[in-house]
Chain A
Amino acid sequence: MNSGIPLEYYLIVATIMFFIGVYGFLTRRNLITILMSTELILNSVNINFLAFNRFLFPGKLDGHFFGLFVIAVAASEAAVAIAIIINIYRRFTSINVENVNELKY
C-alpha cells in the first residue's frame, strides 16, 4: 500500500517545511505573516504524525486522531489570533511587531 516511497522522504519534506516556517517566524515583522509561519510549522508536524502512523503503526489510528485534534487546535488558535490582531490594529493602526510595544495601556 505504501510501497514505493520510504518513510524518510515524508519526514524530510516535513522537516524542510518546519524550518522554512521557523525562518519566516524569525524574519517576518507583520503579525499575520507570523501567524502564517505558525500554520506552516503546525502543518509539517501533522505530516509527521500521519506518516509515522501509516508506516510504523498501520494497525492503529493514534496518529490519525492526533492530526485531527491538531487541526482543530490550529483552527481555534487562528480564530483567536486574528481577533487579537484586529484588536491590535484598532488600537495601534498597524500590525507590525515593532509598533506594538506596550502590553498595558
Chain B
Amino acid sequence: MEVREIMFAAFALVIIVFSVLTVTSRRILRAAVSLLFVLIATAGLYFLLNYQFLAAVQLTLYAGGIVVLIIFSILLTSQISQKFEPIEWKKALFSALAAIAGAIVVITTILQHTFAADTAAAMEVNMHVIGKSLLGTGADGYVLPFEVISVLLVAAMIGAIVIAKKGSPFKEEEKNK
C-alpha cells in the first residue's frame, strides 16, 4: 500500500514537471523528449490502475509511435540548434491566468463533489475479455466502434500519404508564379 502511494506520487510529479517543460522549453527537441517522459509516466498510472493492456498500448503507440513521428517531423522541419524566441510577457501572463483560473474551477468542483464509489467486484481485464468485448455484438460488445475506428485509420493513412507526397498541386502553382 505504501509502495503504491509512493509510486503514484512519483508518477504525478513526473507528469506535472515534464508537462510544464513540454510547453515551456525553448528547444523543440527537448520539448518532444519531455512529452515522451509524460507519456511514459501516464502508462505508469495505467499500470497502477491495473489496466495492463492499455498501459502497453500507451507505451507502444504513444511513446513508441507518436513521439517518434513527432521527432521525425521536427528533424524534417526545424533547425534543432535554434531556440524559440521568448514569448511576450503579456501573452504568457494572460494564458497562464486563463489556465490557472480554469484549473482552480475544475479542482474545486472535483473536491466538492462526492463520488459514489461502486463496490462491485472489479472485473479482471485480461486479453480474453478484451477480445470478446471488442468483437462482440451483445450488450458489452464494441464491434461497431471497432469497425469505425478501422475505417478511420485507413482514411487517415491514405489522407496523410496524399497530403504529404511530393508533386502536390501546390508545387505546380509555385512553378506558374
Q: Which residues of A contact B (CB under 8 A)?
A: 1-5, 7-13, 15-24, 26-30, 32-33, 35-37, 39-40, 43, 46-47, 50-51, 54-61, 64-65, 67-69, 71-80, 82-87, 89-91, 95, 105
Contacts and interface: CB of A to CB of B under 8 A. Distances in A.
A61 B128 CA distance: 13
B107 to A, nearest CB: 6
A28 B152 CA distance: 29
21 contacts: A4-B8, A13-B16, A20-B19, A21-B23, A24-B22, A27-B87, A47-B42, A50-B45, A57-B118, A59-B118, A61-B125, A61-B140, A64-B130, A69-B145, A75-B61, A76-B153, A79-B69, A86-B73, A89-B76, A95-B77, A105-B173
Nearest to B102: A19
A54 B156 contact: no
Given A33-B31, A50-B54, A79-B157, 19 more contacts: A1-B50, A4-B1, A5-B4, A7-B115, A8-B115, A18-B103, A21-B23, A29-B87, A32-B70, A33-B23, A43-B42, A43-B62, A55-B118, A60-B123, A61-B140, A69-B145, A71-B62, A72-B153, A76-B153
Interface of B is mostly: helix
B114 to A, nearest CB: 10
Nearest to B88: A27
A59 to B, nearest CB: 4
Interface of A is mostly: helix
Contacts of B74: 32
B19 A58 contact: no
Interface in B1-44: 1, 4-5, 8, 12, 15-16, 19-20, 22-24, 28, 31-32, 35, 38-39, 42
Interface residues of B, number: 88
B51 A71 contact: no
A4 B50 CA distance: 14
Contacts of A47: 42, 45
A70 to B, nearest CB: 10
Given A28-B23, A69-B149, A19 B57 contact: no
A2 B16 contact: no
